[in-house]
Amino acid sequence: MIQAITERTGILVNSNGLKKLETANIFVAGCGGVGSFVIEALARAGVGKLTIIDMDIVDPSNINRQLIALHSTVGKPKVEVMNDRILDINPKCQVNAMQTFINSENTYSLLTAEKYDYVIDAIDTLNAKVNLVKASHELGIKTISSMGAGGKTDPTQIKVADVYKTDVCALARAMRTRLKKQKVKKGIKTVFSTEKGIAPLPPKEPQPNQQGRSRATNGTLSYMPSLFGLTIAGIVIKEIVGDDFNSQF
């Protein structure tokens, strides 16, 4: 049964490429609309080791777009649900599931705990995104970051570019401003959309014991975050496999 996971992949990827995937160690921050699809695609491709990080629990509002969000999983930690799903797909995958925030105090320790081949940023909050990509860039780890899928409806406008070569996307613009101040000049690959999108709802009133500021609520459609996530997974898998795809027709 386990070998069946790579049966179809092995038609496209040679044995050396499959080995590269099996020995890859990937760090994914965020198990939501984008991150859950990234993680599942990596697991189905036969990636051997995944560190997944997310502080949140599954909320009913996640059901319209997040792979892990079901009526049966509401109230459970996202990393717990994602961990169980990965192992049900690929029992050989080593999963390090961490229910925690990423911040300026723990980013470097998280990224240096193991030797990672790739860091994937699928976080919603700007501060955490900047902390993560700055640290991974300084540590010389390949990095790809998801920009905003919220408010977008047109899948044909999804693009891939360095954060300094993006346009239209407000989140990418804010990332550029922050990274420039941190003297990170290039080397952060992003998935973004050139669609202007639909404005979010205003921030909700702060809740008791809330960590961080209230944020505007973006509208989301089922397919946009998943397409961002699958695009990221595809880029990472192709880069890991490298030249070890089988010959084309």
Mind listing the pLDDT tens digit for each residue in 35-55? 999 999 999 999 999 999 999
Stated as kind and residue range, the H or E segment containing 192 is strand 189-193
Give buried/exposed letters for 166-179 (b at 16+ CB in 10 A, else e). beebebbeebbebb
- DSSP structure string for 110-135: HHHSS--SEEEE--S-HHHHHHHHHH
For all residues of the chain together, what is the average pLDDT?
95
Which amino acid, residue 134? K
- pLDDT number for residue 207: 66
Nearest Cα to Cα of residue 207 among 196, 198, 217, 215: 215
Do residues 132 and 103 touch, judged by C-beta distance below 8 A? no
What is the reported pTM?
A: 0.94
Mind listing the pLDDT tens digit for each residue in 98-152? 999 999 999 999 999 999 999 999 999 999 999 999 999 999 999 999 999 999 9
Length of the chain: 249
What are the structural domains, with CATH classification, of the chain?
Answer: 3-145+225-241 (3.40.50.720)
Neighbour order of strands in the sheet with 49-53: 94-98, 49-53, 25-29, 118-121, 143-146, 189-193, 158-162
CA distance 52 to 35: 9
Q: Does residue 68 have a pLDDT over 60?
A: yes
